[in-house]
Structures are given as C-alpha cells and as structure tokens.
Structure 1
Amino acid sequence: MIGIAERHQYILNKIQQHGSLDVQTLCKELKVSSVTIRKDLKLLEDKSLLYRTHGGATLNNPYIVDRPVNEKELLQATEKMQIGQVAAKLVEENDSIIIASGTTVLAFARNIQPVETLTVVTASLNVALELVHQTNVEVIQLGGVLRKSSSSVTGPYAEGMLIESYCSKLFLGVDGIDLEFGLTTTNALEAHLNRQMIAASQKIIVLADSTKFGKRGFGRICGLDKVDHIITDRGISEVMRKGLESLGIKISIV
C-alpha cells in the first residue's frame, strides 16, 4: 500500500489532467477505502489545492458568484440554444406556463412558436420582451423589485401574484445543481420567488447547461425531490447523470 504523500500526489496529478475526479474511482485505483480518500480530499482542500464536491473533487470553485445577465448570455451560448429548442417542444396547445429568469430560459423563450394560445407568467423582463410580439402568447409580467444583474423581479408583489395562479409547467433556470444541496441561485430573494413558482406549478423542468452541475449558489431553491425533468448538454458527467436518474428525475441531453 502506498503512503499518504504518494496518494496525495497521485490525486493532484489526476485532477490536473481531468479537472475533476470521483471518490469511487480513486478507491479502485489506489486500493483504499472511501473513508481514506475523503480524508485525503479534506486535507488537500485545507491546503487550497482542490475543492471537494459530492462524491469527488474539482479544480474549479463550486461556489458561484453573481454575474450580469449580458455576461452570462455569452457563456455556453450554443448549448443554451440547443437546450431551449428541446424545451420548446414540451409546450402544449393552450398551455399555461411559468418561465423564471436566466439566460437559458431566455433561449427557451426565443424558441417558443405556439400554434394555439399560450399563457406565460414570467419574472424576467427579457423573456416578456421576447414574447410580447407573438400574437398567440399572453404574457403576464410579475411585478416587484427589479434585479439589474438578472433583469428580473423579486419580492412580495411577485410572490403574491403567484398565489393566485396555477400552471402546468415551470421552466426554471438555476445557477447550481448539487446532489446533496439541490437547486440554487446566487440571490436569496430570487430563490424565494422560485419556491413560490414551484408551488404554483404541476411539473418542474430545469434548464441548465452542464457547467451548473456540482456547484452551489448562496440561495437554496429546493431539494432535487421537487424536480421532474432536467434538460442539459453532453458535458454532464456520467456520475451526475446516474445520481439524478436514481432520484427519479428524467434527464434529456442535447
């Protein structure tokens, strides 16, 4: 059995090569228990050499910070458009849906082409502006305090409007998806509004590119038990996909 210094060097070499790793693979390769590997990862994290995640570790900080919406829109733009195209196929005739805020749900809104009447409740100014010119779409814009970084509203006015509504589907954008911590965003008020959207919806559909997995934002929205369907891209890891599917969540990969 190799010593602790050699194990640590092996782990660091592997994470430098792949960007992330999982505990079970390290257990097999190093022939030690998961308890030993988790202790190793804790020591390496204490030295600021990596970040621990659920079931493994990564070189990238999993704790995300808020960015302006115009900056976010440039990130993973192709993947977001593909996710939006798949999500648009889930909109049914005479549907009533909620669209939350974020650049991935904005890509979804740009792909909506309803044949019959569609009612859309949204917190996002950009989503409302995208759909307002479609003759078959009735847009209900939630009111409240405007968050400039996301061009969306939060607060009790928006939450109060949702209490009087019930829709078939919520299309939700998030900043982080973690198997233990659930869905998160960078803003606590937005997270609270998202919870009200979930309460007002029959089905919860999360639209998230693969960079969102294994990350956590400041505001927790809900546990993964609330989620019915996640649409993402091919960058999702096999470990994460299997973990989500084991919770009964449908995963669509574009």
Structure 2
Amino acid sequence: MIVGTLLPSDQDGGFFQGDLNLHASIISETAQKIHEKYGFVSCQPSLFIANQAISMKASGLVIIGGEYRPWAHSSMGSITMEALKRIATDYCFLSAPGIVAVSCVHPYEEVAEVKRAMLRAGSESVLLADHAKFSRRGIFRFADVGEFDHVIVDSGTPESIRLGAAHEEPRRHRRRR
C-alpha cells in the first residue's frame, strides 16, 4: 500500500486532502490505512471523501464549503477557493482525468481551479494515476507531473512513462510550512 511508503514512521496523525477523481477503492483503502495507522484530520471539498472519513469515525474532519455540484459530489466556486487559501495540509492526494505530455488536465475549468488550490495547500503532494489517464485529454491544465512530490502509477503504465516521471525533479510552486 502506498501510504506505508509515503508517510514517515514517526508521523503522529496529520492533515490530508483527497480528490474525488481517484477511484473509490483507492480513496477508501488509502483513507482507511491512514486512519488505522496514524489517525487523521481530513480537509476537502469532496463530500464522498468526507463520508468515508465519517464512516471510519475519523479523528477530525474539515469539510470545505462552497457551492455544491451534484455531478462532482463536491463543493466548488469562490467560497471553496477562498477556504482553500486558508488551509495548509501535510499531504495532498490528487488524480487527473487526463495527462497530456507532462500536464495534468481536466475537462472542467472549475475543477482544475480547485485542484490547483488543493495542490498549493499541501506540503507534500501525491499524484495517483492509472495507465488509462495517459491516453485521455482535457482542456484545462492544473499541474505538471513534476509539480508532485510523488507519482504513483499502476503496473499497466508503459515503462517509458514511468521512467520519465521518475527522472522529473519536483518543482515546488506551493506554500511550504
């Protein structure tokens, strides 16, 4: 499980935020492992992930408000963007519906803006992508692969892509603590 390799062994709880575009099984498994091993406080606009934290009786939960978008089961808009400016998390887990060359893209501008803000709020960031993401397109760029501290892909991802991501030096354009 990726959580075991990403979180330091002396981590005593912490904050993380997640992204609804991640597959539900990955969200559930990642959140469960963090909760079991470290306890956590989760900050996010995603009501799906918030419900996961609630079902685990998480030690803390901050739901970022805003205008609810039923199709995304998440909050978005100016209220969400302002709230994300005021938080700082230890970890940020994101996915991208598409990865074009080295750019993570989304078909909806509003979602891309929220993803950018979430990335800035995290001290350490993780991109989770399966091999299908590398053949999908999107209009709105929210990050380059090199802006993430960690990139986790599945075994179906071509070796050329895995090697390219491994050699990319993380570029930090986020707020650091």
Normalising by the smaller structure, the TM-score range is 0.7 to 0.9
Query: How many residue pairs align between the two structures?
Result: 162
Matched AA of 1:237: P
Change (3 A) 1:88 1:245: closer
Hey, what does 1:110 align to over in structure 2? 28
C-alpha distance in 1 between matches for 2:16 and 2:79: 19
- Which of the residues 119, 123, 131 maps onto 2:45? 123
Hey, what does 1:237 align to over in structure 2? 158
* 1:125 Cα deviation after fit: 1.1
Q: Deviations over 1:161-194 (max 9, x none)?
A: 11111111100021012234x1111211010011
Matched AA of 2:141: R
C-alpha distance in 1 between matches for 2:45 and 2:106: 14
C-alpha distance in 1 between matches for 2:90 and 2:117: 14
Change (3 A) 1:137 1:207: farther
Contact 2:146 2:165 in 1 (8 A): no
Contact 1:116 1:136 in 2 (8 A): no
- Which of the residues 80, 95, 101 maps onto 1:158? 80
1:224 and 2:145 correspond: yes
C-alpha distance in 1 between matches for 2:63 and 2:92: 15
- Given the two structures, how large is their TM-score scaled by the length of structure 1? 0.59
Matches within 5 A, 1:10-159: 86-89=1-4, 90-91=6-7, 92-104=11-23, 106-111=24-29, 112-113=32-33, 114=35, 115-159=37-81
* 1:116 Cα deviation after fit: 4.2
Contact 1:88 1:108 in 2 (8 A): no
Structure 2 gaps, min length 5: 171-177
Q: Deviations over 1:55-76 (max 9, x none)?
A: xxxxxxxxxxxxxxxxxxxxxx
- Given the two structures, how large is their TM-score scaled by the length of structure 2? 0.82
SS in 1 for 2:12: coil
Matches within 5 A, 1:197-212: 197-212=118-133
Structure ranking higher on relative contact order (CA contacts 8 Å, 6+ apart): 2
C-alpha distance in 1 between matches for 2:2 and 2:80: 24
